[in-house]
Chain A
């Protein structure tokens, strides 16, 4: 069975959509609902990808008893691991979810670390320090070879390697979409919870929220950590999906600027808007890349820059002429304390994070 090129196109589009959706939902929590302009989103995403690049491969190599320096002989080791994983699918999945957990923990920790110095100050100081921290992830990844192999990058073992070649990407995409749905439900539930209400209160009037006895600093740190953890999971998933990590891919445009663009097009503080914005942007981008080569001969420069120019102008136009985006923020109905029964699973996650 050979897949049609249209199906490959759609499968890839949906996978990228799912990953960006997680990043954007996490950014929307911070920027839309809590009003924290996180210009260092790339830090958490990159951290997640670096965790996926550095940790699972070494664990697998240890368990399977594969010798050699993980970074230097990366290609050989990872292909050996992938062959080994065909017979050890269970361990593969355990380590996969363990990696996601580690990525979330590292992301959350970095969120705390980077937000702490500026969280009590004005918003622009926070934005500047987060942006500066965001730049650092690429520098560290590029130069500290044991992490992600420096400028050469590393391969990431594929827990789905037991699948036949043509089914691997479609199945991975379905998995990604399922995870994205979980994150979407989580985000919707969180916004309707008392915590979500408090976030909006802090965003709209910090002094008033403080006067009612809310600890605004703590809530902002908390939301930065949760959202960084989610973004790190997205980063790790991306690394697993593509099957490799290279530090240079984690630049400000791809993982900070595009997410801002998507949530602003879709509508701030509205998860439905985020969904539509992400879908629109990812599709547009995919088509631009698809038709780039046929366009190249007509212009005397690299078409990539036309793409940047176009997207920058679109964002400015949205900001100037439709600042609320496609969907405007609507009043969110809150979950009552003893009304409808929630699924216990979600509640457990809830209590784990916020109580």
Chain B
């Protein structure tokens, strides 16, 4: 099956943004602080995939569960040791955001140290590396092209069932709506928040492990990715997991395919300006529908659509 690599690029990037955006939404729902370190949780996943394939000499896919656990633990550490004490002390949201920025810096520093360590110890390229050659072929395409969207589908269905059908999910939704009130009825809010952060960070780790199979890995990926992730979350509305998926797919596809289309129309110099596309999304969303896709009242829009 022949497929222009740009479509694989688009599919994988959109899946990646959707995954990161789901995780960001899960953590945002609990503490209401945009986590600027979120994209670096994915970079941790990238490095676990590097270790799995180059140091342990096995398939990078084995990194997915490990990345889920380790990134999840890092996210829980951020929540438990930094954000929760800050919230208890009554720190403003802005201070909490600064704290996540500081945490991001620490993660990036540790990843860079780790990268240097890998080069020196195993003589393995650990900056601007790619693991594409470690992927297996499936129907003439790299497996990752199928694995990424399938992961989103599985996660979306699991999260949907978890949040809507299980007792835990209902408790979680209650705790994010009104943590004081749900504490009164006997829900362990602290545990729920911790699990939310674990899932959020873990999903970002999965995204990172998957991403390493297609895109270049580098310790400083986080700051490069974070505008796109926030654009996806803002487009999605920041409060809804379905919105996050839709936003991620929309921003991801537009970034890759839109740049390609515009470059075809106006010349290839445009490709370098691709990182500005998330900005356009942020500005347009904030001006037109500040509550994002999930905030638009679709059924009302349908009913009154003809009149508008």
Size class of the A contact interface (CB-based, 8 Å): 35 or more
B101 at the interface (CB under 8 A from A): yes
B36 CB contacts on chain A under 8 angstroms: 39, 131
Q: Give the distance to chain A from B294, nearest Cβ to Cβ, in Å.
A: 15
- Is there contact, CB below 8 Å, between B290 and A253? no
Are the C-beta atoms of A308 and B105 separated by less than 8 Å? yes
**Residue pair B94, A35 in contact (C-beta under 8 Å):** yes
Of B57-65, B128-136, B203-211, B270-278, the one touching chain A = B270-278
The A contact surface, by secondary structure, is: helix
Q: Judge whether A313 and B106 touch: CB under 8 Å.
A: yes
Which of A58-66, A164-172, A299-307, A340-348 forms part of the interface with chain B? A299-307
| Cβ contact within 8 Å between A264 and B98 | yes
Across the interface, which residues of A come within 8 angstroms of B102, CB to CB? 257, 261, 312, 315-316, 319
Tell me which residues across on chain A come within 8 A of B91, comparing CB atoms: 319, 323
Distance A351 CA – B81 CA, assembled complex (angstroms): 48
Q: Does B103 contact A (CB under 8 A)?
A: yes
Q: Which of A31, A124, A311 contacts B105 (CB 8 A)?
A: A311
By the criterion CB–CB under 8 Å, are A123 and B93 in contact? yes
A39-B101, A139-B275 as given contacts; A129 in contact with B286, CB under 8 Å: yes
B94 near A123 (CB under 8 angstroms)?
A: yes
Q: Is A127 an interface residue (CB 8 A)?
A: yes
User: Which of B94, B108, B227 is A31 in contact with, Cβ under 8 Å?
Assistant: B94
Interface flag for B99 (CB, 8 Å) = yes
A201 contacts chain B at the CB level, 8 A cutoff:
no
In the bound complex, residues from chain B placing their C-beta under 8 Å from that of A261 are: 102
- Say whether A301 contacts B98, CB under 8 Å: no
The residue in A260, A304, A305 that gathers the most chain B C-beta atoms within 10 A of its C-beta is A305
Contact with A along B270-295 (1 / 0, CB 8 A): 00110110110011001100100000
**Quick check: is A290 within 8 A (CB to CB) of the other chain?**
no
| Residues on B facing A (Cβ under 8 Å) | 32-34, 36, 82, 85-86, 89, 91-95, 97-99, 101-103, 105-106, 108-110, 112-113, 116-117, 120, 223, 226-227, 230-231, 234, 269, 272-273, 275-276, 278-279, 282-283, 286-287, 290
Can you identify 18 A-B contacts, CB atoms within 8 angstroms?
A39-B97, A121-B290, A123-B93, A129-B279, A132-B227, A132-B231, A135-B223, A140-B273, A143-B272, A260-B98, A264-B98, A300-B116, A301-B113, A309-B105, A312-B103, A312-B105, A319-B102, A323-B95
